Amino acid sequence: MIHDPAPDHGGPALLGSSGQPHPPLIQAARQTNRIGLMPTEGWRKRNLQYFGEVLIPSLLAARKPGRIVDGVPLVTAREIGITWLGHAGFFAQIDGVNLLIDPNWALWHGPIKRLRHPSVWASDLPPIDLVLVTHAHYDHLHLPSLRRVARGQPIIVPKGVGSIVKRAGFGQVVELETWQRAKFRDLRITLTPARHWGARMIHDTHRGFGGYLISSPTRSLFHCGDSSLFDGFQEIGQRADIDLALMPIGAYQAPSGRPVHMNPEEALDAFAMLRAQNMVPMHHDTFPLGGEPIHEPAARLLAATAARQLQDRVRILHEGESALY
């Protein structure tokens, strides 16, 4: 892997791991896009509603069995293949490279219960060439899941997250600042901005966060990570002709009241700003993280997709299901 800290918009070079200060514009953008940790007014009522209507019922309900799937498909050199692993996790194939993004096979995150057994486990996947993690939150950076696939291959994470994964079994840990780029074989992997936050604990707000633009010489895949709606999606769409965007649609009724995720309609707005050809949703139907009913995000997305006449461009996958583009 070759780390390439030069931005692709012709501006001043970003600095890598030299220890020198980053350009002021990068620092300002990072601070503007970071959402604060303070809850908004009414958080106590929202938390009671979340516990009573979402969390406790999910604990009392039986976990659904995993679906029976036929494995991942064979992908030609000019195709993009994806398999949804649940939550924000995807196995992706592009230009002959097997990618794993935000894998999470956990059955529990503290008191939060996974609602279905995974349908595709790490052992069901082909050898993984490269792993990407969008940010340090436990539902996206799940260390036991990462250790299941670590075989000395490289992993790419945002700046400040490398210390968490450095002993997980990967051969090379590459940290990227926003708009920095790494190369792997013929792929270019760029860390894109998001409007979210990246702390693993309350005090370590220095950790970066974002999405990934994964480009081969002919195709381009975008994984949004976690984000609320912001105008940065327009700039991302100007950087590449995106064939497929993986967009989060759930956990939009945060008990804290903070605008940390997009609802389905906002995800479609972001999809339009990206000017992407196709969209597959994620971050729904796996862990009950928001106050909305667990099946509401997918239902709202279906309705909004029909209203905007996007049925042929937006596809909802079942956990474990694959698609080719």
**Whole-number pLDDT of residue 199:** 85
**Whole-number pLDDT of residue 11:** 30
Cβ atoms 134, 142 nearer than 8 A: no
pLDDT band for 1, please (50, 70, 90 cuts).
low
What is the pLDDT averaged over residues 188-192? Answer: 98
Lowest mean pLDDT among 69-83, 144-158, 178-192, 292-306: 69-83
Alpha-carbon torsion angle 42, 35, 115, 122, nearest 10: -170
Taking the complete model, does pTM exceed 0.85, yes or no? yes
Tens digits of per-residue pLDDT, 116-132?
999 999 999 999 999 99
Return the bridge partners of 11, or none.
Answer: none
Tens digits of per-residue pLDDT, 55-67?
999 999 999 999 9
Residue 69 in this model has a pLDDT that exceeds 70: yes
- Residue 175 belongs to some domain of the structure: yes
User: What is the average pLDDT value for the chain, to the nearest integer?
Assistant: 90
- Residue 11 belongs to some domain of the structure: no
Give the SS3 label for residue 268: helix
Give the SS3 label for residue 321: coil
Residue 311, sorted as left (phi over 0), alpha (psi -120 to 50) or beta, turns out to be alpha
**CA proximity to 161, closest of 150, 175, 142, 172:** 175
**Percent of the chain at pLDDT exceeding 70:** 90
Beta strands (DSSP E) in the chain are 2-4, 80-86, 89-94, 97-101, 108-109, 112-113, 130-132, 154-158, 172-176, 181-184, 187-192, 211-215, 220-223, 244-248, 278-282, 322-324
**Whole-number pLDDT of residue 7:** 44
**Whole-number pLDDT of residue 71:** 85
Residue 202 in this model has a pLDDT that exceeds 80: no
Tens digits of per-residue pLDDT, 217-231?
999 999 999 999 999
pLDDT band for 302, please (50, 70, 90 cuts).
very high
When divided into structural domains, the chain yields a total of 1
Residue 288 in this model has a pLDDT that exceeds 80: yes
- Residue 259 belongs to some domain of the structure: yes
- Residue 129 belongs to some domain of the structure: yes
Give the SS3 label for residue 238: helix
Residue 31 in this model has a pLDDT that exceeds 70: no
- Residue 274 belongs to some domain of the structure: yes
pLDDT band for 36, please (50, 70, 90 cuts).
confident
- Residue 244 belongs to some domain of the structure: yes
Q: Which residue has the higher pLDDT, 38 or 289?
A: 289
The domain spanning residue 225 has which CATH number?
Answer: 3.60.15.10
Give the separation between CA 82 and CA 221, rounded to whole angstroms.
10
- Residue 145 belongs to some domain of the structure: yes
- Residue 46 belongs to some domain of the structure: no
Domain extent for 245 = 75-320
* 162: amino acid identity, one letter: G
